Amino acid sequence: MADAPQSEPTAAAADDHPAPPTAGKRKKLFLILAIVVMVIGVLWAAWYFITQSGRVSTDNAYVGADSAQVTSLVSGAVTQVRVGGTQMVKKGDILVVIDGADARIDLATAEAALKQAQQKFGQTAAQAGSARAKVMSRGAEIAQARARLTDANATVARTRIDLDRRQRLVGSGAASAEELSNARAAYDSAVAARGLAQAGVTAAIATQNAAGEDAVASEALVRGTTVDTAPDVATARARLDKARLDYARTVIRAPVDGVVTNRQVQIGQRIAAGAPIMTIVPIANAYVDANFKESQLRHVKIGQPVELTSDFYGDDVVFHGRVTGFAGGTGAAFSLIPAQNATGNWVKVVQRLPVRVTLDPRELRAHPLRVGLTMDAVIDTRGK
């Protein structure tokens, strides 16, 4: 009877501590776990092959833009500065106004010089016409001189005949010595008058030749030209155009759309021609230079799509672009002190080559970037 109660605690202890699982159940659990791991691995491999295979990325990328350096093309004192740093401007907006008093004086002087050149051309053309008229008048004078010479020759011939007749009559006593003397004097006078007439013809011809040379010289100044094409007039007009251009340049306008930065000009400051006064960054035309390792560029081609993100907007804003070019050399090749690898103490360092990425203009208008911002760039080398 004393041994019967001891059997009850043994049965209760058996209920509190169940028997461990069998080896078959443990093996089944490990098999299920292995299958799950394999499925996850296959799914990850498929996802990577579909979405990530052929993609190269870098976080060494920076926003750039072909900034416009605004310089003054004329010297003078600044009277107005109409923009400030960080201000958006449109192409053609007035940025700076320079005192134009000197430019206005130069413009008025150039206008007067043009009118003077035109007037001088008119005088030269008139002189050419006058010279031609003089040549024609000298021809009439030559005709008159030759007529006088003809008359003088006739007079010489008449007085010669009269002198010969008197000489014959003196021998017969029909004419007196006084008549002979008068006839000889008339003949000598006629001969002298003929000499003067001949000299008059020669002088008239010489005068006509001189007038002809003057006419040729005057016509040479205007031959083949008009008041618009004459050299002096053209030179004066060019000076007037330059004066107008200099006057127009006293108002400095924005060459492109963009943001004003690095403004270096103040009202009252006297600036010299060629001095930089500010920079305009055309953020609407920003691009990205992504520095990829040379080992990443094996399959990168121009035209391939690029996805980019910036810390400026976060991962929620994704920019899309295209590869448009490769730099002509690595960053180290164009550094201030290029690496010298010919010393023998050479250790290979993977180089980076800048890749130019052009961004979508619509995305840039929606989310403007600034020059110098860092970007994360991913190129899909399978895309075209």
pLDDT in tens, 264-320: 999 999 999 999 999 999 999 999 999 999 989 988 999 999 999 999 999 999 999
Q: Which of 304, 308, 299, 293 is nearest to 354 (CA)?
A: 293
Say yes or no to pLDDT of 248 above 80. Answer: yes
Q: Where do the structural domains in the chain lie, given as residue ranges?
A: 55-66+282-380, 68-101+249-278, 103-244
**Cα–Cα distances in Å, from 230 out to 114, 120, 131, 222, 236?**
11, 10, 20, 7, 10
Report how far apart, in Å, the C-alpha atoms of 350 and of each of 57, 117, 136, 292 are.
15, 70, 93, 10
What is the pLDDT confidence band of residue 165, given thresholds at 50, 70 and 90? confident
Grouping H, G, I as helix, E, B as strand and the rest as coil, residue 152 is helix
Where is average pLDDT lowest: 97-106, 128-137, 333-342, 364-373?
128-137
- Residue 1 — very low, low, confident or very high, per pLDDT cuts 50/70/90? very low
Instruction: Answer for the pair 322, 355: CB distance below 8 angstroms, yes or no.
Output: no
The CATH number for 103-244, chosen from 1.10.150, 1.10.1760, 1.10.287, 1.10.3470, is 1.10.287
The 10s digit of each residue's pLDDT in 10-22 is: 444 445 555 555 7
Q: What is the mean pLDDT of residues 71-85?
A: 93
* Topology of the domain comprising 68-101+249-278: OB fold (Dihydrolipoamide Acetyltransferase, E2P) (2.40.50)
Q: What is the number of other CB atoms lying within 10 angstroms of the CB of residue 94?
A: 14
CA 66 to chain centre: 16
Asked whether the beta carbons of 104 and 304 are under 8 A apart, the reply is no
Higher pLDDT residue, 367 or 45? 367
SS3 60: strand
Instruction: Give the confidence band of 214 by pLDDT, cuts at 50, 70, 90.
Output: low
Handedness of CA 299, 303, 305, 308 (dihedral sign): positive
Which pLDDT value is given to residue 113? 92
Residues 112-148: b if buried by 16+ CB within 10 A, e if exposed: ebbeebbeebeebbebbeebbebbeebeebbeebbeb
Q: DSSP state, 147? A: H
Strand partners, 325: 356
Give the DSSP letter string of 201-214. Answer: HHHHHHHHHHHHHH
CATH topology of domain 55-66+282-380: Elongation Factor Tu (Ef-tu); domain 3 (2.40.30)
